[in-house]
Structure 1
């Protein structure tokens, strides 16, 4: 057994861990997995990760700390294992990953840069100050909440540091400060997600951003950024206490070549301002009247089926693969090779090669109740990937965040997108059917 590998940080036994283990293996590397304690219903993950990794460690809490990571790095060194880099898809461990790579001498984001991106209030303030955002924001307390309600100004509420669309909603007359307090109480008891909110930065409100929503999947290599894909969110539900992103397509269907070039130049300005020189990013934004506004910049790969969706677009290279390569291949000649490959995907470069494929995926969210049946229904096109995360008998409780039920991905030949996509958007709404007792 080789003793050279990648240190992977897993949250509660998950975080795309099988995918990144496979990516490491294809590059001839072992996987050293450090996981926080899974929830009791998922204890089977401990044995599964032990079997799939060359080295495994488990913390005694549901969230990893820097002490956990530091101790494991020391243990691996003592046992003769060589860590080539550290990777975590879980946003809550991105700062830990950056610190570990700093110690390992791997080019990555600075921990302070991670913290800025995770703090949505500070990020908005900085972008606003330099003219890259026209959106005003305010930290929320009972006083500022009352002022906003009285003004009737369109606003959007969200945690300063958040995940899984937890407690994100447009401010409407039927909402009250008690709704915020209820969400905060819910977060405090949510073993999976509460560590993300442990800094207790509270909630913020910002001007409501109108327009069509998109996400940019970006890799930065030694100061150069490459937009690997742009996903258009063709269906979004803002009716509850969490924004649900139901369906995405790439390439986007409502941006022409001129608009795409403007979008690409705009993202480059933001990356230059924030000095984001290395790493993988999922930038969410809206476009209205030909003007772009950032929603948030996540210092990680996109969630749901973003990574395999990108693999369809690139015809074989996923975002998690590109991220791992970003960490592994940093010698001068390797950086040039990285940039040459990424330039083929990035419409902002002269060597851009339009894809022969489009990708479309839909995410299905569970409703409160006991699931009595789950059924998959065929659409006009055979799916490439189907994932169902819940099972019959599961009791779903009402929460102010996403509760994933399943997700389905389709690959569409580009020359058939105009014909198939409209049908698929409609038919896919019922591709996974659920009955509740």
Structure 2
């Protein structure tokens, strides 16, 4: 057996493991998996990962620590295994990944850079100080909450460090500080997500950012960012306690040829200021009156179906593959090859080569209640990928975060986009249909 491979950090047995293991195999590399303990209902994942990886370790707790990673790196070395890099798509392990790559001598983000991006309040302050944001923000306590409500200025609430749209909502008169306290209690008992919030940085409020929302999928190589894809969020639901991003299309349909280079230049300015020289990023932003504002910069691949969506646009190279390439291609010659490949996908530049395909995906979220049936309906275009996360009989409890029911991805020929996309947007709303008892 090949003893050279990639150390993959899995959260509770998941975190795109099958996709990452497949990507490593394409480079003739083994997968060494370190997973936090799966929840009891998902204990079967240990056996599945055991069968799919060359080496597996499972921690005693539902969240990995640096001590877990350090110990596994020492064990692998003692057993004669060679780790070429470390990779994790789980945001809570991004700092652990950066520390591991630092030890391995792999070009990656600095751990301190990861921590800055994860701290949404500090990031907003730094962008403001540099003149790269006009959005004001404040740390929340009961006093500042009451003050903001009294002023009546449009504001948006979110955790300083968060994930899965947990407790992200507009400040309205029908909400109270007690709602925040209730959410904090909910987070503390959420075994999957509580570790993300363990730093107890609390909540923040910032000016509400109007406009159309987009996400930029970015790979940075030796100080040069490449915008591999731009997804336009064509349906966003802000009505509850979590923002639900229902449907995305790429390339975007509401950015014209003159706006793309401006957006691209804006991204480059931000990356230069933050000195983000290496890595994979999912930058969320809104554009209003031709002005761009960052919502957040995630130091990882985008969630939902972003990675396979990128694969449609690039004709076969997913976002996770590009991220692994970024970690593996370290020599000057390999970096030049990587840059040449990424330049073809880089929207808003002269080197961009338009893809013959567009991608569209829809995410379906569950509501509180017991699921009676789930069915897939036919629409105007056969999907490329269908994933259903829940099943009949599942009891969905009310929560302040997104609860995935399923997601579907379509590939649209560019020359038929104007004809098919409007139909697809409408008909896809019922592609996955769920009935509750």
State TM-score, norm by structure 1: 1.00
Describe how 1:61-72 pairs up with structure 2 within 5 A: 61-72=61-72
Q: Distance in 1 between matches of 2:351 and 2:143?
A: 54
**In structure 2, C-alpha distance between the alignment counterparts of 1:325 and 1:389, rounded to whole Å:** 29
The corresponding residue for 2:170 is 170
Aligned residue for 2:243? 243
Alpha-carbon shift at residue 2 of structure 1 (Å):
0.2
Contact 2:166 2:400 in 1 (8 A): yes
Matched, 1:26 2:22: no
Identify the residue that residue 114 of structure 2 maps to in structure 1: 114
Q: Does 1:213 align with 2:218?
A: no
Q: Deviations over 1:263-296 (max 9, x none)?
A: 1110100000000000000000000000000000
- Match for residue 386 of structure 1? 386
Which residue does the alignment assign to 2:288?
288
Separation in structure 2 between the aligned mates of residue 62 and residue 372 of structure 1, nearest angstrom: 30
Equivalent residue number for residue 202 of structure 1: 202
Q: Is the 8 A contact 2:158 2:205 kept in 1?
A: yes
The SS at the match of 2:258 is helix
Runs of 4+ displaced beyond 3 Å: none
TM-superposed CA distance for 1:352, in Å, is 1.3
Aligned pairs for 1:226-265 within 5 A: 226-265=226-265
User: Following the alignment from structure 2 to structure 1, what is the Cα–Cα distance between the partners of residues 28 and 329?
Assistant: 13
Matched residue, 1:147: 147
Matches within 5 A, 1:37-52: 37-52=37-52
How far apart are residue 350 of structure 1 and its match?
Answer: 2.7
**Counterpart-to-counterpart distance in 2, 1:350 and 1:289:** 25
> C-alpha distance in 2, partners of 1:414/1:209?
31
Q: Deviations over 1:327-371 (max 9, x none)?
A: 001101000000000000002433210111000000000010111
Report the alpha carbon displacement of residue 12 of structure 1 after superposing the two structures with TM. 0.2
Give per-residue Cα distances to partners, 1:172-201, cap 9 Å, x unaligned. 000100000010000000000000000000
Preserved contact between residue 108 and residue 327 of structure 2 (Cα < 8 Å):
yes
Partner Cα distance (2:349, 2:285) in 1: 21
- State the distance in 1 between where 2:342 and 2:26 align: 19
CA-to-aligned-CA distance 1:249-274 (integer Å, 9 cap, x gap)? 00000000111111111010000000
- Give the structure 1 partner of residue 370 of structure 2: 370
Equivalent in the alignment of 1:436: 436
> CA–CA distance in 2 between the matches of 1:420 and 1:131?
41
Give the gaps of 5 or more residues in structure 2. Answer: none
Q: Within 2, Cα distance between the matches of 1:102 and 1:234? A: 39
Match of 2:136 in 1: 136
Name the CA distance, whole Å, in 2 between partners of 1:293 and 1:38: 37
Q: Which residue of 2 aligns with 1:103?
A: 103
Structure 1 alignment gaps of length 5 or more: none
- Do structure 1's residue 403 and structure 2's residue 396 form an aligned pair? no
The 8 Å contact of residues 261 and 349 in structure 2, kept in 1 or not, is answered as no
Give CA-to-partner distance per residue, 1:355-400, whole Å, 9 cap, x none.
1100000000001011110000011000000000101111000000
Distance 2:380 2:169 in 1: 34
Q: Give RMSD over aligned pairs.
A: 0.5
The aligned length equals 437
Q: Deviations over 1:186-231 (max 9, x none)?
A: 0000000000000000000000000000000000000110000000
CA distance in 2, matches of 1:347, 1:125: 28
Deviation by residue 1:98-154 (Cα, 9 ceiling, x = unmatched):
000000000000000000000000000000011100000000000000100000000
**CA–CA distance in 1 between the matches of 2:239 and 2:139?**
23
Q: Which moved more, 1:342-351 or 1:307-316?
A: 342-351
